[in-house]
């Protein structure tokens, strides 16, 4: 299953890709900005979007809202991944349409569990 990870930090992307591609179930592609993510997701919707909330120019929450407002993409599962310790960020992410929120540094087993759950939801949607 194809996953788009919108993440501007190359080290974070490489780690998540390594963890998720290890068993051969997923292919993880990177978009380094909200704008690039929007274009990539619109052109070829993936099974899941992993979304860093702290992005340059277009914040992750804005991209999540845009995806949920797009009729073709509103059913697409989005999982927020953030290092922010702001208490209300989790609530804001869920309010913007994210189905889950994973805190960085993340637990590998939790990431795998949440991604498996989200891609199952995506498969049912198709």
Q: Which fold has domain 2-125?
A: Rossmann fold (3.40.50)
3-state helix, strand, coil in the chain (%, to 5): 45, 20, 35
3-state secondary structure of 82: strand
pLDDT class of 122 with cuts at 50, 70, 90: confident
Average pLDDT over residues 22-39: 97
Over residues 61-115, the pLDDT tens digits come to 999 999 999 999 999 999 999 987 677 899 999 999 999 999 989 999 999 999 9
State the pTM of this model: 0.95
């Amino acid at each position: 299953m194809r996953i788009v990870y919108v993440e501007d930090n190359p080290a974070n992307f490489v780690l998540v890709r390594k963890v998720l591609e290890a068993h051969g179930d997923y292919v993880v592609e990177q978009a380094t900005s909200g704008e690039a993510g929007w274009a990539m997701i619109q052109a070829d919707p993936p099974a899941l979007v992993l979304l860093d909330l702290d992005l340059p120019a277009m914040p992750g929450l804005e991209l999540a809202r845009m995806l949920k407002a797009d009729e073709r993409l509103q059913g697409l599962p989005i999982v927020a991944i953030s290092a922010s310790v702001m208490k209300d960020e989790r609530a804001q992410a869920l309010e913007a349409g994210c189905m889950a929120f994973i805190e960085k540094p993340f637990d590998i087993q939790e990431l795998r569990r949440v991604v498996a759950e989200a891609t199952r939801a995506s498969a049912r949607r198709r």
